[in-house]
A and B are shown apart, each in its own frame.
Chain A
Amino acid sequence: MTGEQPLIEVRGLTKRFGGLTAVDGLDFEIRPGEVLGLIGPNGAGKSTTFNVISGTYQASAGSMRLDGEEILGLPPHRIAARGIMRTFQHNMPFEGMSVAENVMVGAQTTVRSTLGRILLGTAAARAEEQAIRARADELIDFVGLSEERDAEVTSLSFGQGRLLETARALAGEPRIILFDEPAAGLTPSECDRLGVIIRGIAERGIAVLLIEHDMRFLLPLADRVIVLNFGQKIADGTPDTIRTDPAVVDAYLGEAGGVGADA
């Protein structure tokens, strides 16, 4: 399922806040259709890594190449335009719009019609709008929100909001999708459902980077796992090797329940 050529290559990624080094020389790569898990105890630098990749924070050093092209340090909207879409840990829907419109916003990076063409109402502009709507409908069905298509987003449950985030990110036709602790706050059955959706995304050939605290959710899902502690990579391998890696067990010992515990 995983291709040979890496889609994204991260080298020496470093982020310092004043005297504190939150991420220290991180290397990794992701291939198309691969589910890569990034885990670590609280304060390991997971969220910082996520924010640097998505362009929210400026990296202190390092490089990030997409198809060999350097993209580290681009602002968030340019990162998204390169096909790197994300979800938010605390759902961030557009509250004044319906579920379908929220997903359509996600398709922003795919539009080609200029404002001039829209004003003229050209056939191409209208066809594109139709296509975006159709694609949004398809994605809403894919994540299982068909019933709520025209609902106000404020009426969604937290779990449904997470599904909406997923559909919205997919609407941008991403090559890689970043999930920021997607299992946080979900019920066990919602977690299962999300797991199935994430596998489905990978099967479409989209790379998935999962930043997750909850190992029980992550390990069955990931093709490969990177473990961070104090900003540094302490392990990199398949879920099976990670589960028994002494360094990982050590890092998680301070955490209640150890490896496999709930977040």
Chain B
Amino acid sequence: MLLLKCPCCGVEGEETEFHCGGEAHIRRHATGSTDGEFASYMFERKNPKAVVFERWRHVFGCGKWFHAARCTVTLEVFATYGAQVLAPPKPVIAKIKARRPDWRQK
């Protein structure tokens, strides 16, 4: 059972305090988008066997959403960071690269 640190309140809590909201940094396609764009936004997810960026909510806690960069193979958590960004911040990328030198952001 994962341990996650909520960047919003600072609690390092167990997974039962949190709710996973799936892949992060997905751009919303709404009015005016093509069928393809909309379907991709709604339904297409990467699901890689490696580094993932996920959305989590501290449900039994401060109630805030945040992002986690994590490895789906080893479950290592590289970093957690605020939800109000469109892409992983540079320090997060640096932390991942420090642990996974071969990793390339797609």
**Chain A complexes with chain B:** no
List the interface of chain B (C-beta within 8 A of A): none
List the interface of chain A (C-beta within 8 A of B): none
